[in-house]
Chains A and B, each alone.
Chain A
Amino acid sequence: MTTMSMSRLGPDRLKELTLAATIFLSLVVFGLLIEGYFSGRFFNRVTLGVAIVAVVAAGQSLVILTRNIDLSVGSIVGVSAYVTGQQLGNHPEANVVVAIALAIAIGAILGLINGLLVAVARIPSIIVTLGTLAIYRTVLIAYGDAKTITADTLPSWLVNLPKSTLFSIGDYDLRFMFALAIGVVIALQIAFGRLRVGRRLYALGSNPDAAHQAGLSINRLTVLAFVGCGALAGLGGFLFLARFGTITVTAGQGLELQAIAAAVVGGVSTLGGAGTLVGSLFGALLIEVLNQSLVRLPALSEFWRDAVLGLLILIAVILDAVLARRFNPGRPRILAGTSAPGREPGSAQAITETGGTATGGAATGGAP
């Protein structure tokens, strides 16, 4: 049975492997199509570009895991980048740790507002964050008074940060920003696999009703996911500031779409409860590779970017839906017809016959 071999690997691991293979394959294909594709410059551009999105996407994944969504991360990145940049301009003596802490704190506070509105005021996250997407941006515009933060007001360590390299192999540099992003995501991933609170986030997304029954504090977990998302978006804001140096009040606009795209392409299930942060990292990488490669194909103009990105998301979610249906035999067959594979709390799941005797009894096993 395919399901048995599946369970040994776990659907999440399988998704990660598939993504890694896809990234590798697209590299090979582009390498064949484009002359001088594997240059150090290309590598550095991709890794630098992916750092921001990867961090924000990891945060987004936390929220999506709990069956929510955060559309406001682009605005959070903007606020965090802008305010941090301004403060660094006023206090050039501040060091990198303080700057990062400030950026993260700003993001966490904005995430906290989202989380409280979702968990305590019981407003669907799409509405809350659609609202705060606009509100945070407006607040930033009012606060910034349409002034632009320029690189010459920033301390020099920050301006040089994108270029700072941990080590190089030939032309290929491992940039500090990339290492930081990757390190944060992987550390979080490990933590979430080992920490009780991480597993509880998965449980919450997997079945909110059961989580409530099990006495898990749903409100606290939901708020936590949003705070985590905000904090990571705040970190993204710092990276944004470092990379671009020039920050207008529209900084980070549209980043929410890229972050959601990376999470979804990375296999974080929009039905909640499944997917990993490393997956979202791979998702971000794949998108960035395609972005940076497609423009170098002579046949395509830069205007193709969005269209390709949209298509990529579509393919990813379709794959996810098809896989979810195939690898969840415990879900009732009759629900598979129209709907998102019978995931609703208190669904018909228990009552409908689970289709035939092939599965019946096997699980309780060992019965005469």
Chain B
Amino acid sequence: MTGRARPVISENRRWELLLLTILVVTVIFNVMQSTNYLGINNFINLFELSVEKIIVAVVMAFVIVCGEIDLSVASIMGVGACVVAVLHDSTSVPFTLAILIAVGVGGLAGLLQGWCSATLGVPSLVVTLAGLIGFRGLARILVEDRSIGDFPEWFDSLGQSGVIGPLPFSVIVFFVAILFGGVVLGRTGLGRRAYVIGDNAEMARYSGIDVVGYKIRLFAVSGAVAAFAGVLFAARLGSVRGDVASGFELDIITMVLLGGVSIFGGTGSMLGVFTSILIVLNLRNGLGLANVEANTQTGIIGVILIASVVLRNAFARFDTSSLDTQAPPHHEPAVTNHDLTTANP
């Protein structure tokens, strides 16, 4: 899951260790908060409430390792949910086909963004910011101010009841997604290419890698998976409105960055993302049990996001203190916001 022939292993390892420590601390905190915490229902609840974000986070890890970012995922989730809802509500399209169409629309949306970013060289931050606004608009156009529900029973139960024993669909999806993502990122050529592209896209192109194609496909996958996640979300909610899943991008990106994936691309592992997801879920859950308001929870997540990078920078400085004289590692210049500047470093 963590890839072997990769650099900065020690740094990544130390980061993962730190995350594990934090995780243990949050678990202890939660146990002290409430006796309910250790119950199996609460455990399942933990995943159920966030499975949509988690599967999007797995793809987001690839996007960020590649040195890009996709801010539009939450809006595309909304589009996915709304497409299904509208097709179900106002046409006679079979429901499974509606889901497929929704995923297809999401894929197309991602494809469009990927194309703009990769072929035209517009930073993905800006393109997907346009997507964040535009696709939310699309969701609103589809649903307007209605709330559409009344889905088939099996669909609703997808998000609500157990599939294998007490384990609900969402928990299974979570583990499958993380495991699959981890193997692909750490052990396959696809993953290796993501790291290289994230480190230096131009060099990747000079090595015969189809960088443009890779990124376009990655954004398309990101869109399709986001739309699918939106559909899952609709199943859990049982009804859909135009603003469904809005604002989710903050949590999703936090999960990935907290997991040790560098915003500059080129480093990170799925094990880190896995641990950080557990931390975020635990925190939300624990804070919820402690009756902390959702909005305050978001603020705390924000603090953690910033703190995680401060810590990581401190780690990196530690590493470079013994640097090689002739090949000093690239210091990040004081100001760069690589998302704005580097579609390609």
Contact = CB atoms under 8 A, between A and B. Distances in A.
B55 interface: no
Interface residues of B, number: 65
Interface string B46-59: 00000000000000
Contact of A272 (B129, B300, B303, B341): B341
Contacts, number: 208
Nearest to A315: B130
Interface string A312-323: 011001101110
A167 interface: no
Contacts of A69: 125, 337, 339-340
Contact of B333 (A212, A320, A321): A212
B132 interface: yes
Contact of A124 (B211, B254, B263): B263
B296 A142 contact: yes
A314 B313 contact: no
Interface stretch (B32-40, B136-144, B229-237, B273-281): B136-144
A139 interface: yes
Interface in A323-350: 325, 335-341, 343-345, 348
Interface stretch (B14-22, B89-97, B114-122, B184-192): B114-122
Contacts of B126: 264, 270, 313, 317
Contacts of B123: 270-271, 317, 340
Contact of B343 (A126, A311, A339): A339
A301 B143 CA distance: 12
B12 interface: no
A127 B252 CA distance: 13
B13 interface: no
With most chain B CB atoms within 10 A of its CB, the pick from A141, A304, A314, A337 is A314
A344 B313 contact: no
B7 interface: no
Chain A, interface residues (CB within 8 Å), range = 35 or more
Interface in B242-265: 242, 250, 253-254, 257, 263-264
Contacts of B145: 303
A64 interface: yes
Interface of A: 64, 66-69, 117-119, 121-128, 130-135, 137-139, 141-142, 204, 208-209, 212, 218-219, 222, 257, 260-261, 264, 270-272, 301, 303-311, 313-314, 317-318, 320-322, 325, 335-341, 343-345, 348
Interface of B: 69, 116, 118-123, 125-127, 129-138, 140-141, 144-145, 201-202, 205, 211-212, 242, 250, 253-254, 257, 263-264, 293, 295-296, 298-303, 305-306, 309-310, 313, 332-345
17 contacts: A66-B335, A122-B313, A126-B263, A127-B257, A138-B295, A138-B298, A141-B296, A222-B334, A270-B123, A271-B123, A306-B133, A306-B134, A306-B140, A307-B134, A308-B137, A309-B137, A313-B129
